[in-house]
C-alpha cells in the first residue's frame, strides 16, 4: 500500500458507522422527495452519465494506486478528489436504486433488497471497507451497472421479459471487462486482476442472476401504488372508480376497505389496485388469488391477466373479482409477466349468518 493510500485512509479515519448510517438515511429521504418517476429522462441520463464517469474514475484510480505518488499540491489532491467523487456518485446511485427497489418490491424481496443496498451503502462509506481498494469498488460498480440496465431496458422496450435481465447482465460485463483489461495492462499480474476485479464484479453478477432465478429481484420499473378489497367496484362515466365497502367501527377509522370481508350468499369479492408503469409501457400483469388451506399451505384459486398501459402519474387502475369463495384466509398477488411479485394483499373472509345483520356501506371514488 503506498503512502497516498495511507493519507486517504487517515482522512477517513474520523468517520464512524453511525455517521455512515446517518448519511445513508439522509440521502434516502432526500432522494425519496427528489426522484419522482423512474422513467424521467433527466433521471435516466443523469444516472447513465454517473456510471460512465464512475467507470473512468475507477480505471484512473486503480492506475494511480499502482504508480509512485507524484509531488506537488495539485497532483497529491487530485487522486483524493477523484476517490471522493467516485464514492459520492456510487452512493447517489445506490440511494436511487434503494428507492426504486423498495417501491417495486413486495414481501421478502422488500426486506432483502433494502438490506442489501443499505449494506452496500455502508460498505461505500466505511473506512475499513474502503481500505480494501479495488475489490469493493469493482463490486459496487458491478451492482450499480446491472441495477441501471435492469430497469432501463423495460423502460425503453415498454415491457418486461426475462431476456432483458440477461441483456442487462451482458451489457454490464462489457465496461467491467474493459476496466479489468486496463488493470491487467498496468499490473501484468493475472492473479491480482482475478482477485481484485474478476471475482468481485462477476461474483456480484452471479448473485444477481441467482436472485432473479429465485424471483427475489423486484420487477422494476413496475410498482404497486394501491390495492384494496371491496364489496363492489364500478367505473363511473367520469373515468373514476367507485368502491363500496362495509363501514368499519368508529375505532377503526383508518380502515377504508374490506380486509375483514363478511360475505353473504352470492356476494363477489372485488380487488381494486393501481400499478405504476413507465411511459410507453404496454404489457400484461397477472392477478392471482390464493387460499390458505387448513393444513397451513397456500393454494392457487384462479388467476387473471390484465393489460397495463403506462404513463399515468396515478398509475394504471384495474380490478378483478372472485365469486366462488369459501371462508378463511385469502391472499391476492399481482405479478409481472416473468413471474416476479409486484405486490400483494392478505384478507380474511367469513360467511354471514343465516339472518343478515344490519350494516352500513361506505362509498369512495378512487
| Same domain flag for 165 and 281 | no
C-alpha cell recorded at residue 51? 456510471
Our count of domains for the chain comes to 2
Residue 33 pLDDT greater than 70, yes or no: no
- Measure Cα distances from 212 to 29, 120, 219, 339 in Å: 27, 19, 10, 10
Q: Please tell me whether the peptide bond between 133 and the residue prior to it is cis, using omega within 30 degrees of 0.
A: no
Residue 356 has pLDDT above 50, yes or no: yes
The whole-chain average pLDDT of the chain stands at: 81
Can you tell me the mean pLDDT for 161-168?
Answer: 96
CATH number at 310 reads 2.60.40.1930
What's the pTM?
A: 0.82
Strand 298-309 versus strand 328-335 pairing type: unpaired
What lies within 8 Å, CB to CB, of 50 at 6+ separation is 89, 92, 93
Both 109 and 201 in one domain: the answer is: yes
> What pLDDT does 137 receive?
82
**Tens digit of each residue's pLDDT (9 = 90 or more) over 218-236:** 899 999 999 999 999 999 8
Asked, for residue 271, whether it belongs to a domain, the answer is: yes
Grid look-up 390464493 returns 290
- CB 307, CB 349: distance < 8 Å: no
pLDDT value at residue 335: 94
159 within some domain: yes
Tell me, what's the pLDDT at 13? 40
Is the pLDDT at 130 greater than 90? The verdict is: no
Q: Which residue has the higher pLDDT, 74 or 42?
A: 42
More confidently predicted of 232 and 125: 232
Regarding predicted confidence, which is higher, 196 or 316? 316
| Distance of alpha carbon 265 from alpha carbon 353, whole angstroms | 10
Instruction: Of 107, 59, 97, give the one whose Cα is nearest residue 220.
Output: 97
Domain extent for 352: 223-365
Q: Is residue 218 part of a domain?
A: no
Q: Which ranges constitute the DSSP H helices of the chain?
A: 3-12, 17-34, 41-65, 73-104, 108-125, 127-130, 134-157, 162-187, 190-193, 199-213
pLDDT in tens, 86-116: 777 887 788 788 778 877 877 666 677 777 7
Residues 294 and 176 in one domain: no
User: Over 60: is that where the pLDDT of 30 sits?
Assistant: no
Pair 82, 197 in one domain: yes
pLDDT over 60 (residue 10):
no
Are residues 161 and 308 both part of a single domain? no
Report the percentage of the chain scoring pLDDT > 90: 42
Amino acid at each position: 500500500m503506498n503512502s497516498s493510500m495511507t493519507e486517504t485512509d487517515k482522512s477517513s479515519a474520523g468517520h464512524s458507522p453511525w455517521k455512515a448510517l446517518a448519511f445513508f438515511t439522509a440521502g434516502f429521504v432526500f432522494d425519496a422527495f427528489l426522484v419522482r418517476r423512474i422513467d424521467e429522462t433527466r433521471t435516466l441520463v443523469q444516472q447513465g452519465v454517473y456510471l460512465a464517469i464512475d467507470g473512468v474514475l475507477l480505471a484512473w484510480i486503480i492506475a494511480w494506486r499502482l504508480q509512485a505518488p507524484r509531488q506537488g499540491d495539485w497532483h497529491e489532491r487530485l487522486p483524493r478528489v477523484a476517490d471522493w467523487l467516485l464514492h459520492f456518485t456510487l452512493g447517489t446511485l445506490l440511494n436511487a436504486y434503494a428507492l426504486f427497489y423498495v417501491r417495486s418490491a413486495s414481501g421478502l424481496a422488500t426486506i432483502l433488497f433494502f438490506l442489501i443496498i443499505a449494506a452496500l451503502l455502508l460498505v461505500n462509506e466505511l473506512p475499513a471497507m474502503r481500505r480494501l481498494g479495488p475489490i469493493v469498488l469493482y463490486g459496487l460498480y458491478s451492482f450499480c451497472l446491472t441495477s441501471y440496465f435492469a430497469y432501463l431496458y423495460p423502460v425503453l422496450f415498454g415491457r418486461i421479459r426475462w431476456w432483458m435481465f440477461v441483456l442487462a447482465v451482458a451489457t454490464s460485463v462489457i465496461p467491467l471487462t474493459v476496466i479489468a483489461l486496463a488493470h491487467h495492462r498496468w499490473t501484468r499480474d493475472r492473479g491480482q486482476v482475478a482477485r481484485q476485479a474478476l471475482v468481485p464484479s462477476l461474483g456480484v453478477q452471479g448473485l444477481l442472476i441467482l436472485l432473479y432465478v429465485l424471483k427475489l429481484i423486484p420487477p422494476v420499473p413496475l410498482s404497486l401504488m394501491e390495492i384494496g378489497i371491496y364489496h363492489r367496484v364500478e367505473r363511473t362515466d367520469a373515468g373514476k372508480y367507485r368502491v363500496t365497502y362495509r363501514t368499519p367501527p368508529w375505532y377503526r377509522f383508518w380502515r377504508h376497505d374490506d380486509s375483514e370481508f363478511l360475505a353473504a350468499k352470492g356476494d363477489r369479492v372485488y380487488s381494486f389496485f393501481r400499478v405504476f408503469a413507465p411511459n410507453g409501457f404496454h404489457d400484461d400483469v397477472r392477478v392471482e388469488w390464493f387460499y390458505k388451506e387448513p393444513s397451513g399451505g397456500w393454494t392457487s384459486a384462479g388467476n387473471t391477466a390484465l393489460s397495463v398501459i403506462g404513463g399515468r402519474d396515478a398509475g394504471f387502475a384495474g380490478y378483478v373479482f372472485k365469486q366462488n369463495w369459501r371462508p378463511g384466509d385469502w391472499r391476492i398477488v399481482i405479478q409481472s409477466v416473468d413471474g416476479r411479485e409486484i405486490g400483494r394483499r392478505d384478507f380474511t373472509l367469513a360467511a354471514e349468518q343465516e339472518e343478515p345483520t344490519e350494516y352500513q356501506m361506505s362509498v369512495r371514488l378512487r
